[in-house]
Amino acid sequence: MNLLVTGGCGFIGSNFIRQRLLETGSPLRRLVNLDALTYAGNPANLADLAGDPRYVFAHGGIGDVELVSRLFTEHQFDAVVNFAAESHVDRSIDSPEPFVQTNVVGTLRLLNAARLHWARLPEPRKSAFRFLHVSTDEVYGTLAPTDPAFTEETPFAPNSPYAASKAASDHLVRSYQHTFKLPTLTTNCSNNYGPYHFPEKLIPLMILNALEGKPLPVYGDGMQIRDWLYVEDHAAAIWLVLQKGRVGETYNIGGLNEKPNLEIVRTICALLDRKSPRPDGQSYATQITYVADRPGHDRRYAIDCRKLQRELGWAPRESFATGIEKTVDWYLTHRAWAADITAKKYQRERLGTTS
């Protein structure tokens, strides 16, 4: 297989690539990672794999028509996995337009390139080709405490510019399958966590702020509920859907771990109290600080992933207890990785740039 992975230097994409290149008996002949290296794209996530002869890095965005077309021609891809996206809700509230450009226009251009390439493929490669689009549970909106979890049939009701842009991209993928018969698949996942998570996201932010003696900011009352999915379980599910999923279908991927944000923060504090105690003997929980809730903050997400379990036999390997401990351990041993990102982020802000 020649595989195009977009956004492969990001959190989930880099874990997916790492899993594919390190697995025994991998069918990969070549894996091309196309990444624009915006704020969340970090080549250091894959630096130790750069010498793998199957791995090719291409610097650029999915909206670059000339570059993407050239990559399809040069590498003759058998499949595409599209991770490339702007994905931070707070950033989408501050500045929605980059989310529309990448998540909507970029996905459209990538779909166009894939369709033209697929149409020229000979059989049986044409029948075997797949375009897998990675999306989010945020397209479904929010849930009340007693509402059933999101299924693949839940109507879209996005509540942030980020979620709206992802919903639009999901609709475009569906339309290309229906109109042009492009063999597409879509996955909608719950909140991911694990190694290489960008430090401004909830779990790494809490770990790193705690260790640095900074406040642990919790929005509102901290009772916003999310379903937490360990990133390696997510990567394995995507690979399974790519290989065995039914064309045109959507598969929800969840961690089966609904937790309120405040419980997540307190769990992290308890783990750090045990693994890296504060010099003064106080609990890291004393650093928890409640801040004003963000605009339009969805109250609860929950994923019903029974379709994926039933059709493809998938189940998460990690419970939240095992996954969060692995995550805390990873950040404790990768402080330099996080410090380097923070330093680069500060430098970009000082220079007035955002990419």
Q: Which amino acid is at 282?
A: Q
Q: Is 137 annotated in the active site? A: yes
List CB contacts of 208: < 8 A, sequence separation 6 or more.
199, 331, 338, 342
Residue 269, token pair as written in the block: 């504090």
List CB contacts of 281: < 8 A, sequence separation 6 or more.
none
Q: Which listed residue (64, 138, 227, 298) is catalytic? A: 138
H-helix or E-strand containing 128?
helix 125-128
Residue 184, token pair as written in the block: 């597409």
CA-nearest of 306, 270, 312, 315 to 288 is 270
Pairing of strands 79-82, 225-230: unpaired
- Cα separations (Å) of 307 from 46, 187, 246, 253, 301? 32, 11, 11, 9, 17
Q: Which listed residue (35, 78, 86, 137) is catalytic? A: 137
Alpha-carbon distance of 266 to 124, in angstroms, equals 53
Q: Which listed residue (39, 140, 162, 301) is catalytic? A: 162
Alpha-carbon distance of 252 to 309, in angstroms, equals 10
- Cα separations (Å) of 44 from 61, 83, 196, 240, 352? 18, 17, 9, 26, 23
Alpha-carbon distance of 33 to 14, in angstroms, equals 9
Q: Hey, which residues are catalytic here?
A: 137-138, 162
